Amino acid sequence: MDIIIGAGVTGLTYANFTKNPYLILEADDHTGGLCNTICQDGFVWDYSGHFFHFQNPEIAQFISERLDKSGLVEVEKHTQIRYKDRLIDFPFQKNIHQLEQQEFIDCLVDLFEANSITPTTFKEMLYTKFGKSIAEKFLIPYNEKLYATDLNMLDADAMGRFFPYADKEDIIRNFRKAENSSYNGSFLYHRGGAIQYVKALERDIPIENISLQERVTHIDLQQQKVTTIKREIKYDHLISTIPLINLLPLCGINVDTTALSWNKVLVFNLGFDGLGPDKQNHWIYFPEKKYCFYRVGFYSNIIPSDRMSLYVEIGYQHDAVVDEKAMLQQTLNGLREAGILTNQNLVSYHSVVMNPAYVHVSQKGIQEVSKYKDILAAYNVSSIGRYGSWNYSSIEDNMKEAINLSYK
């Protein structure tokens, strides 16, 4: 029997494709993991912004066949950066011509004078690829807020294909004709929130194959046995989608947290009694330290509404203390200073701390993950998904990983 730990998107995807008998163990009283939705006071919020941009036609078709399409909307992404007193189109490096003249000149000159060394860290990559001004005006401060760490701790390719690279020719061409496409240039969203995708994945799974509120407390690798708060279960293949840092101690394996590091993110979902002035952006990036948040998303610009609905993301070191009450007031003050809030009143809010949120991809971490996965594989344990594989990946990437594993 296959035992699957975690009823999030990755675990549910594996269950849909495996030919083996299986049981899903989920610690919470609901499925979905971090891909979940809150419906409160007429607002629909996810734990954070989950937008689906399927590029694999087989996965897109699989989801489409099972999804309630009546509430589905396809959106052409529009995002900007709040830089000083203006909004600059994203990505920053391709839109430096929108800056004030002297800053534009500084960025352009530094771009062409950038060192050509081979970078070994993420921060070095930013300087090498884009020059001092672009790096220090946006790329470094924004990513420091996002990851809540020194960017020299991250691998040069920490974000992989998700980083919006652009060569000098791309940047120059963008001065005349905007071309700001990215891997998620368009996305799908459902009026019922991201949970609708989870329901689509659940549709063909027998209810008896999912056991909720059954947290795993120990894994005996030698005996291939899982102990939960309710029972002991033998397995032939164990598929874990929980964070690798949580799985390893369950197996009696010590975790090197100097190699496997991460941050956490406080997310506020905020509902107001009226719309704000921004009617076009789906999210805005905030590199400046005077704003506690690094990104603000507009649900009400995705699904039209007569009330503004936002998600706000704030990065922390994984062991930091989070004072949600104080941070909520700081967030509202920041939204007013940024002009997102004018005279609207907060009428509803929800908060969640995602921990882990972003893993810190480093060369040492990549080596450690490979070592741990080899140890687990020797006992028929597979650790998959964004946090199971400890990498920077999309929801579709996690689904592909689950599908590929199910075929083995």
CA separation for the pair 397, 159 (Å, rounded): 13
Per-residue pLDDT at 165: 83
Q: What is the DSSP letter of 85?
A: T
- Please report, for residues 102, 132, 174, 378, the alpha-carbon distance to residue 110 in angstroms, rounded to integers and kept in the order given: 12, 6, 17, 50
Q: Which of 196, 159, 210, 211 is nearest to 391 (CA)?
A: 159
Per-residue pLDDT at 68: 86
Structural contact between residues 91 and 164, judged by C-beta atoms closer than 8 angstroms: yes
Of all residues in the chain, what percent carry a pLDDT higher than 70?
A: 99
Structural contact between residues 28 and 47, judged by C-beta atoms closer than 8 angstroms: no
Per-residue pLDDT at 258: 86
pLDDT reading at 268 higher than 60: yes
pLDDT tens digits for 210-246? 999 999 999 999 999 999 999 999 999 999 999 999 9
pLDDT reading at 290 higher than 60: yes
- Residue 281 corresponds to which amino acid? N
Top-ranked range on mean pLDDT: pick from 13-27, 149-163, 250-264: 13-27
Q: What is the DSSP letter of 157?
A: T
Report the predicted TM-score, pTM, of the whole model to 2 decimal places.
Answer: 0.94
For the beta carbon of residue 224, count every other beta carbon within 10 angstroms.
Answer: 17
Q: What is the DSSP letter of 7?
A: -
Per-residue pLDDT at 49: 76
- CA 43 to mean position of chain CA atoms: 21
Beta bridge partners of 43: 40
Per-residue pLDDT at 214: 98
Tell me the pLDDT band of 364, cut-offs 50, 70 and 90: very high
Run of H or E residues at 248: helix 244-250
| Residue-averaged pLDDT of the chain | 94
Structural contact between residues 167 and 140, judged by C-beta atoms closer than 8 angstroms: no
CB neighbours of 247 closer than 8 A, spacing ≥ 6? 5, 219, 240, 376, 383, 388
- Beta strands per DSSP E along 255-359: 263-272, 283-285, 295-298, 309-317, 346-354
User: Per-residue pLDDT averaged across 122-143, rounded?
Assistant: 97
Tell me the pLDDT band of 182, cut-offs 50, 70 and 90: low
CB neighbours of 80 closer than 8 A, spacing ≥ 6? 87, 88, 89, 90, 281, 284, 285
CA separation for the pair 401, 393 (Å, rounded): 10
Per-residue pLDDT at 257: 84
With the CA atoms of 4, 266, 302 and 68 taken in that order, what torsion angle do they form, in degrees rounded to the nearest 10? 20
For the beta carbon of residue 69, count every other beta carbon within 10 angstroms.
Answer: 10
- Beta strands per DSSP E along 30-184: 37-40, 43-46, 72-76, 79-83, 86-89
User: Per-residue pLDDT averaged across 100-116, rounded?
Assistant: 93
Per-residue pLDDT at 90: 95
pLDDT tens digits for 345-360? 999 999 999 999 999 9
